[in-house]
Amino acid sequence: MTRYWLMKSEPGSFSWEDLLASPRKTTRWDGVRNYQARNLLRDTIAKGDGVLFYHSNANPPAVVGTATVTRAGYPDPTQFDARSRYHDPRSDPEAPRWFAVDIRAGHALRRPVPLATLRETAGLAKMELLRKGSRLSVQPVTAAEWKIVLKLGGIGG
C-alpha cells in the first residue's frame, strides 16, 4: 500500500533545487535525529511511497514539490562518520540508532503551496503539519490530503 509523507527541509541547507540538481534527482534523506521520525523511517516508509517536499524556515514556508521513496529505511551512515555534523558516537553499529531513506524528485508544484494556504483549506484541517507545536520533520499525510495539496499546487488534477 502506497503511503504518503511530508518531509521538511530548510532551503538554506538542502532545497528542492538541490534535490533536482542531485545525481538522478535522488538523495539520501539522512540526519534525522528524532525518535518518532526515526521509527517512521525504519519501520513504515516503503519504496514507492509519495513525499511532499516542504521548505521550512523559508519565506514563505511552503510545499514545493513531490518526491518518491526509492529505497526504504536503512542505517544512516552519517551517524558513524566522525566528521559529519550528524555523527552520533553513542550509536552502536551492531544496532544502529538512526535510519535514512532515499528519495527521488517527482514534480515541482506549478504553484508552491504556502503554509498559510494549507491552513485556510478546509480539507486539510487535520494535517499533522498544521497541528500546534508540530515539529516532526517526517510526518504522515493521508491520501486525501495528498490529493488536495497537489490540486492546490496545480498538478495532478
Q: Which residues contribute to the site for DNA (CB under 7 A)?
A: 8, 10, 33-36, 56-58, 60-61, 115-116, 132-137
Compute the half-sphere exposure of residue 97: CA atoms within 13 Å on the CB side of its CA: 15
Residues in the chain, total = 157
What is the smallest separation between the CB atom of 8 and DNA, expressed in angstroms?
Answer: 5
* Distance of alpha carbon 21 from alpha carbon 90, whole angstroms: 33
Residue number with CB closer to DNA (48 or 60): 60
Do the beta carbons of residue 55 and residue 62 sit within 8 Å?
Answer: yes
What is the smallest separation between the CB atom of 82 and DNA, expressed in angstroms?
Answer: 17
Residue number with CB closer to DNA (2 or 57): 57
Residue number with CB closer to DNA (93 or 133): 133
Please identify which residue in the block is written with the cell numbers 478546509.
Answer: 122
Sorted by sequence, the CB contacts under 8 Å of residue 84 that are 6+ apart come out as 78
Sorted by sequence, the CB contacts under 8 Å of residue 53 that are 6+ apart come out as 7, 9, 16, 19, 63, 64, 65, 66, 67, 105
What is the smallest separation between the CB atom of 1 and DNA, expressed in angstroms?
Answer: 26
Residue number with CB closer to DNA (79 or 137): 137
What is the smallest separation between the CB atom of 96 and DNA, expressed in angstroms?
Answer: 15
Residue number with CB closer to DNA (33 or 107): 33
What is the smallest separation between the CB atom of 42 and DNA, expressed in angstroms?
Answer: 14
How far are the Cα atoms of 83, 98, 116 from residue 89, in angstroms, in the given order?
11, 12, 40
